[in-house]
Structure 1
Amino acid sequence: MRLSSAARAVLFALALLTGSSAARADEAAVTLVIFKGGWIFGGSVGKGVMTFHGKTYGLTAGGLDYGLVFGGSQTTLQGRVRNIRRAQDIAGVYAAAGMGVALGAGVRGILLTNQNGAVLELGGKQVGLMANVDLSGLAITLKE
């Protein structure tokens, strides 16, 4: 089966458009400091920065936890956010189900996705006394 030159041109243009949208997705460096505490219900609040295309943006973070939540901790996370096209794509709600224990100092890692398709890959140190098996959500806001 032979394709006409017009059909080949259309297929080529579609391939370019599809490839260019994936190529436009970018990543940025992220640092967050989050304070978490609770007893059955828990909450978290924090702040941080994102460096994207040489510009630094302030971030705020906050969320609620429900499940087995006990104690309090401070977590400093560093990593990256992938699959963003503009700085505003980091803003949104990230949801997770998880568990963890920190007594003194521990290591924490998270991988979360928001409604914009932004993927957070963060790791760092957690300090405090914290035990949790919970459903949690984290809302990140971009300060401009």
Structure 2
Amino acid sequence: MLKLALRLIVLPIFAVTFSSSSFAQATGHVQVKFVKAALLVGGGGGSGVLTLRGRHYPFIVSGFSLGVAAGASTSWLEGSASGIRQASDFAGSYTAVGAGGAFVGGAGGINLRNENGVVLNLKGPKAGLEFAANVSGLTISLK
């Protein structure tokens, strides 16, 4: 009888502990290819994959820049997405303020945040000819 009583007390504690951990924030791994062209106002798009808790979530990304910008480039970015409670938090509109450039093969990086509190920290090589000092925005949609 004592063993049964202990089981009835201990099992609900484990159930609450493990079920609440599924709502904890996680950090995912992001890989994206982004192609951009600009002359004052720029635009671009691409696709990528978010890896979160062992699952892969393909996504589409589109973006814009406004400010001093000229040229064209292709970026292969990789990094982290933190502050994710569930995969759908990753989708949304991201904004950043930054300055950077690439000349026929440089490195670039960007930090962005969306309305769900997800923070992207991406970096990687660029190919092309581009100079930019602008406000950028990205929209990510899960496929």
Give the superposition deviation at 1:123.
Answer: 1.0
SS in 2 for 1:24: coil
Structure 2: runs of 5 or more not aligned: 1-19
Identity %: 39
Residue pairs, 1:76-95, within 5 angstroms: 76-95=76-95
Read off the aligned partner of 2:121 and give its amino acid letter: E
Deviations 1:70-116 (A, max 9, x none): 00000001111011011111111111122212111111111111100
**Using the alignment, how far apart are the partners of 2:73 and 2:139 within structure 1?**
18
Counterpart of 2:42 in structure 1: which amino acid?
A: G
**Structure 1 segments of 4 or more deviating over 6 A?**
none
- 2:51–2:57: 8 Å Cα contact kept in structure 1? yes
Q: Does 1:42 align with 2:39?
A: no
Count of residues in Structure 1 that have an aligned counterpart in Structure 2: 125
Corresponding position: 1:102 with 2:102 = yes
Per-residue deviation, 1:53: 1.6
TM-score for the superposition, normalised by structure 1: 0.81
Structure 1 unpaired stretches of 5+: 1-19
Cα distance in 2 for residues equivalent to 1:130 and 1:34: 13
Q: Residue 131 of structure 2 aligns to which amino acid in structure 1?
A: A
Q: Which residue of 1 aligns with 2:10?
A: none
Q: Normalized against structure 2, the TM-score is what?
A: 0.82
- Tell me, in whole angstroms, the C-alpha distance in 2 between the residues paired with 1:82 and 1:60: 18
Letter in 2 for 1:103: F
